[in-house]
Amino acid sequence: MNKRILIMGCISGFSLGIFTSCSDSNSDIYNPANPIAEIDSDSSSSIADEGYGDITSCDSETGSSTGTPESSATTGSSNSNGTKPSGKSSSSNAAPGVNSSSSATAQSSSSEQSKQINGNTGNRPVITYTAGGATVANGGNCITVEGGSVKISCGGEYDISGSYSGSDAQILVNTAKTDSSVYLNMRGLTLSNTADAPIYIQKASKAFVVAKNGTTNTLSDGSSRTKTYNYTNDNGEAKTDTTGACIYAKDDLTIKGEGTLIVNGNYNNGIHTSNDLKVKNGLITVKARNNGLKGKNSVEVSGGTINIITTEGDGIKSDTEDAADLASGKGSIEITGGEITITSAFDGITATNAVTIANGESTNPTIKVTAGGGHSCLSDPTSNTGSTGGRGGMGGFPGMGGSSCSPSESMKGIKGDSSITINAGIIDINSRDDGLHSSGNITVSGGTITIATDDDGVHAEKALYVKDNANISVTLAYEGMESPDMHFEGGITSVITTDDGWNAAGGTSTTTTGRSTGGFGGNGFGPGSGSTGKLTVTGGYHYIYVGTGDTDGVDSNGDITISGGVIVVECRMNGGMGGMVDSDGTTNISSNAKLLGFGTNNSEEGTQYSVSFNTNSYYGTSSIAFKPSFSGNKMVSSVGQPSAISSVSGMTKTCFGNSTDRCVYTK
């Protein structure tokens, strides 16, 4: 049930009876700038955003609602400053002013000031589409209609419904930046523009596209563009524009409402704004030729059930390249809620600045990404019992690296050029390219992340931090985690790879023609062979499985320091150098750390033991035990001589990923 708060001036000097008459009115008087709101049962009400909505106003003498309901659109209209435009455009007649007996009071009120500004004094405007085009009720001087084309020139809320298809099927918003925000309340709208964008926010303080509760709303644009728009912005600058999305905005845009919104972007992007894009709630499906959701300055998703499908672009994107904007934090994506499913031709989520996934106010986000069709060329190394090697870098040899199968285009799951920070959420990534990729730092301190990829599971060009409650499971990758500066401070991680499990090395991204840090154990004849790295482990539980070939479990092009935590390595290397632990610098493994390695070849680093093991027993010591998944005769241990363990009773069990059999027992 809607509740309305009334203007106190409505009852000044009059009886409670008049107040009752006023409050019982069914009219929704349209005063968008008044800070007294209708509280709508749909949580998408504007009060949640700006503290005002539509209100009920009364004549101070009669107690009746001020303003006469407007009729349908007629020929001739006035714009927001009272001038009458030429041409065939049509709008509803201007509403009459307030009664003379109360005009002095009304002129001084914020309500009447807003009426003078926006020229709309009737009930909330209603735009209805039929086969013949659009009709308008209560439009005042704020709406111009020509066929299926509707132009809105005032801030406030507009109710829109009906169905229409044509080259003129468009709602265009052009309001002063100093005006109030524009709310396009869709109450069952199907709008298909065969030549352009059905919704075009040309200029506005802020714009809200709202799918009202219980309604289904479908927007589709044309597959090509021929029309350009010329207008003047608030700075007096002449602008020329062509719409580049189905919902296309030049200013801040928010998508919200508890209804269903279906967007078909046949030309380019599905939903686009040149400023900040926010998605708050709703059932949203976006099918786009290029990008699904794009906020050039930023994207924020805090709720909703969102399904994005792109055929030639990215799923969610923010891509400003302006240096000042980047320095101020623009070009970023923040996800704090929602159930998001992305099937993208290229990157799933990509930002030229930072990507942040964190706790929301109510629920944590759930994100599922399939990028570039998902992984397709790597096979599960746990099922490969042959002796051939995995893939390697440029210049690698068969059986000792092989060639890269990463794509020439960027098809990453989540990419943040400056950083990726994940504190919460359930994230499932299936990608042709890296699962998580940053040209800067990656920090994971929470959430549950599952990654399958044809390239690196997690790749940070500067530094990688895994800590606190992070839970990362790389079920298939070329290299599990790679960065020149790696820090494992906590959490639970698991990687299953065809090449190195952890690789602390510099070098370039693997999204071009090949890998520069390949060949022998990731340090071969490629141009990255001179890179350095540093790997530090101080806490957490970590499992590493690497397939056959010239593969390393824990590999650093510099130093390795392991002073805490639990690490289990299964390395099936059958050629080359390295093995379970490989370092080009100094290796320090403390007795406070619990490291247990299983291999079929010698380990370059760590204390090694010749212990035969099989898949039928647990192996280790009284402080750590693990049942290996293959048989071999070389082990590495930081806690003394390992051997078969008859019982793990009384030890703490920690499983990796979703596995119930790859579990370590510690005491």
DSSP string, 472-485: EEEEEESSSEE-SE
The parts of the chain modelled with pLDDT lower than 50 are: 1-41, 43-45, 47-48, 50-122, 385-403, 507-529
> pTM for this one?
0.80
448: which 2 tokens? 């549950």
Residue 46's nearest CA partner among 234, 256, 224 is: 256
What pLDDT is attached to residue 615? 96
d(CA 436, CA 413): 6
Start-to-end Cα distance in the chain: 59
User: Measured between alpha carbons, how far is 158 from 36 in angstroms, rounded to an integer?
Assistant: 17
pLDDT reported for residue 197: 98
34, 4 Cβ separation under 8 angstroms: no
Spatial separation of the C-alpha atoms in residues 405 and 433, rounded to whole Å: 9
Strand-pairing partners, residue 130, are 133
Backbone angles phi, psi at 103, to 5 degrees: -65, -35
What CA–CA distance (Å, rounded) separates 558 from 325? Answer: 36
User: Is residue 515 within 8 Å of 404, Cβ to Cβ?
Assistant: yes
Q: Name beta bridge partners: 394.
A: none
* Alpha-carbon span 384 to 399, nearest angstrom: 13
- Non-local (6+) Cβ contacts of 289 within 8 A are 223, 265, 266, 267, 268, 269, 310, 311, 312, 313
- R_g of the chain, CA atoms, integer Å: 31
pLDDT of residue 498: 93
φ and ψ at residue 11, rounded to 5 degrees: -115, 5
